[in-house]
Structure 1
């Protein structure tokens, strides 16, 4: 049935649950998933949580096509059923049914969060489920013109397939040409093989929750004194620089890849690469075709619980995972608007005993998009830990509506009023001393595209927007040059951006050829095996590159 113009889209986010009562049937391991529906004939399923046990985290979003009458109706309800995976059949753990009017308290584009008791099959209540809801315009999701409901991951998968299909059709003549001369070009044949293996055979995996969290109204509070549970992935910026004894030159090192095989990852060996030294031409050509994405931005905060509370209550973020690293006297929390294998997220770092950092004047702000920023500003206004820097209004000389707020540690956020995009956490702004020099570095070393530049002579600054795809679908880097200013104080608060790559060794070669400074030679992190490399740009801003396959494996 085609979508009517007056219809809306209802987004339901099944975030997590606490205190589930396992079924009476003995299970070797409690693994859970949830179903949600408005119409019983169309039920949508979350990913499987195999790590959280009685405290699972799904953080899956679902889109339903609804009418204004449904949204305003007193009896309009959404249903959820939680199941445990069994040997011969799955077991119902409990259900939740809630009236949508009790959840939606803001306008369109404003996320709302609530916690509901879970009713067991016996009729008793046991456990709590955390749910988010938001209303969006139909124009934001054209795929719903033909269907009544869809999971957000399925929707993104459809878009990615379309993009890959367009990209493949566009590259078809080039591939035919390269196949004729593959015997003479080791780099071309290997790059093509690596690209196809990593993009077509690897699918996003479920994100595990390593911490037991206590939640209310969709806001997560750390349990216990610090409430931080250890997770197996060591954050890359805390690892000391390590020299790799063996030199890995471009196109000389046989690579081993992990290929998705059913529900598991199996290792495959790539073809041996012919010996050859790196040249600027083939390295830079490889960078252009590398499978890269901005994974997360890292910065330090003085009170992890306070910051998590502010981001979840005021900005509507979800806690994705938390890890405590007592041997390094620090802890990390990952927050965002979608799973890490698909979205750009924030990594907060708390170092034991340090409650204040100098942000400096080099870091600018983070950008977050909302359908209605006035509602977000009102929420921040009522929060004692936040500060409003600029009230909502149009940009000077333009029609875009923006606002600026400040979090409890002094980090600034630009709120952009725009239609909902795949990446609500959409921008990181850094100031640089030479814009052309920085653009060249991020193009050559990082493989980013220059999306556009904007000069403002009246305010005496120029910005360059760079990224790995269209701004409405990808997080971007905003480089700002203020006339006549060549150096900035970077402070000690902001840390780095992490970017995914198919090969950290080739990435390091490209960085060196582009004039970047390698701060950590490429190679696996001791004790974990995830391959990374790190560098500084011409202004001293740090970037860490993480092997794509290793990153997905860590999340799985």
Structure 2
């Protein structure tokens, strides 16, 4: 593969040929009867590029996650690390890698750990804002934050900073923001009155990888894409009119169903869309997708019951493709583009195929 293609695609797409950005082009499909049901879909993972995988894996393991899979691609000089909550108390305990939600995929390109000048784009600095943060929900937020601080990790916002005393933002080794919220948090955004305000005990095995936040230019277009094209449901809307932005939390109901009264803290696999008022009216406004330079966030990923049928459905909906299933050498992954150009990977859920993807 050419150096140009390698630099352009990254992650698994390092193995792919360039794919044009085409809407609604035809492609051949198997003639066998195949079906897909979005009720079976899962928001599987969010991918971040990291400088030093040892430091990053250590951080997320400290937050209670387990390294559930490692994929090595030495010929393309990168490795992938998949982490998730997998204790007996976890929602997806024992499930295969792509039959779960709340997974974090870390992509390491060889040599970055030895480059003193290498840094990733964390998505929160102008002019390269786009991806915002990951979020974990914890049993005791004061104790959890105290534990993280005692380990020597830094914070973008401590629990006691500012007016919002019910959330904190830790920083991972690359400077990505990790929001920390309480599993007991109310829909109004206030601490549960029964939760101790002083740090006491916390059990990382009870934590949830709750959501991934990305900023979007046009909330209406983005919500339509994630609900109508990807089959998610809008679980909760938080309007902050005085501050000029809204938050939208979407996800797949799965076996848990739609959360009552918007209570989403104990869920995994949620997508938070942040919309700042007025951006949709600015023709020149654009968020950074994380895959053009400077790189950082790579993509989100959904796993589906039948990848051929799912991709045929997306084709019928005139979805915008980065890579069709038939493009390139890797025939087991596809990439859609959302209205802001963020990449959405599509993979097969192994539970429905009865075989591993990789």
TM above 0.5, one fold? yes
For the residue of structure 2 that corresponds to 1:401, the secondary structure is coil
1:490 aligns with 2:289: yes
Shift of 1:446: 0.7
Q: 1:412-447, CA deviations, whole angstroms, 9 ceiling, x for partnerless residues? A: 011111159987001000000000000011112111
The 5 A counterparts of 1:104-503 are 236-241=12-17, 247-248=27-28, 253-254=31-32, 272=33, 289-313=38-62, 315-338=63-86, 339=94, 340=97, 341-354=99-112, 355-360=118-123, 361-384=129-152, 386-392=153-159, 401-419=166-184, 424-469=208-253, 470=258, 471=264, 472-485=266-279, 486-491=285-290, 492-503=295-306
Q: What is the CA–CA distance in structure 1 between the aligned matches of 2:144 and 2:328, rounded to whole Å?
A: 40
1:553 alignment counterpart? 355
Contact 1:452-1:466 within 8 A present in 2 as well: yes
What aligned pairs does 1:44-83 form with structure 2 within 5 A after superposition?
A: none
Equivalent residue of 2:105, what SS? strand
Given that 1:343 and 1:423 are in contact with CA atoms closer than 8 Å, whether structure 2 keeps it comes out as no
Distance apart, 1:502 and its partner CA: 2.2
Task: Using the TM superposition, give the Cα deviation of residue 351 of structure 1 relative to its aligned residue in structure 2, in angstroms.
Answer: 0.4
CA shift in 2, pair 1:504/1:475, >3 Å: same
| Paired position in structure 1 for 2:341 | 540
Q: Aligned in 2, Cα 1:440/1:327: closer, same or farther, shift over 3 Å? A: same
Higher normalized strand content (fraction of residues): 1
Three-state SS of the structure 2 residue aligned to 1:496 is: strand
RCO higher in 1 or 2 (8 Å CA, sep ≥ 6)?
Answer: 2
What is the CA-CA distance between 1:377 and the residue it aligns to?
Answer: 1.5
Please say if 1:508 is aligned against 2:288.
no
Partners of 2:286 and 2:318 in 1: CA distance: 18
TM-score normalised by length of structure 1: 0.46
The 8 Å contact of residues 536 and 543 in structure 1, kept in 2 or not, is answered as yes
- In structure 2, what is the Cα distance between the partners aligned to 1:404 and 1:300? 19
Relative to structure 1, the CA distance from residue 537 to residue 555 in structure 2 (aligned partners, 3 Å threshold; closer, same or farther) is closer
Residue 296 of structure 1 contacts residue 346 of structure 1 at CA under 8 Å; is this kept in 2? yes
Give the Å deviation of 1:503: 2.8
Q: Which runs of 5+ in 2 are unaligned?
A: 1-10, 20-25, 87-93, 113-117, 124-128, 185-202, 259-263, 280-284
SS of 1:331's partner is strand
Q: For residues 163 and 37 of structure 2, what CA distance do their matches in structure 1 show? A: 35
533 and 324 in structure 1: CA distance in 2 versus 1, 3 angstrom threshold = closer
Q: How far did residue 495 of structure 1 move? A: 0.5
> Shift in Å at residue 363 of structure 1?
0.6
The Cα shift of 1:404 comes to: 1.1
Closer/same/farther in 2, CA of residues 367 and 552 from structure 1, 3 Å limit: farther
Q: Distance in 2 between matches of 1:543 and 1:238?
A: 16
Residues 389 and 304 (structure 1 numbering): CA distance in 2 closer, same or farther, change over 3 Å?
same
Which is greater in Rg? 1
1:481 to partner: Cα distance: 0.3
Q: Secondary structure at the match of 2:122?
A: coil
Structure-2-length-normalised TM-score:
0.70
SS in structure 2 at match of 1:506: helix
Structure 1 unaligned regions, length at least 5: 1-234, 255-271, 274-285
Shift of 1:543: 0.5
- Deviation of residue 241 (structure 1)? 4.0
The structural deviation recorded for 1:353 is 2.0
1:287 and 1:445 in contact (8 A); partners too: no
Q: In the superposition, relative to structure 1, how do residues 525 and 487 fare at CA in structure 2: closer, same or farther (>3 Å)? A: closer
TM superposition shift of 1:409: 0.5
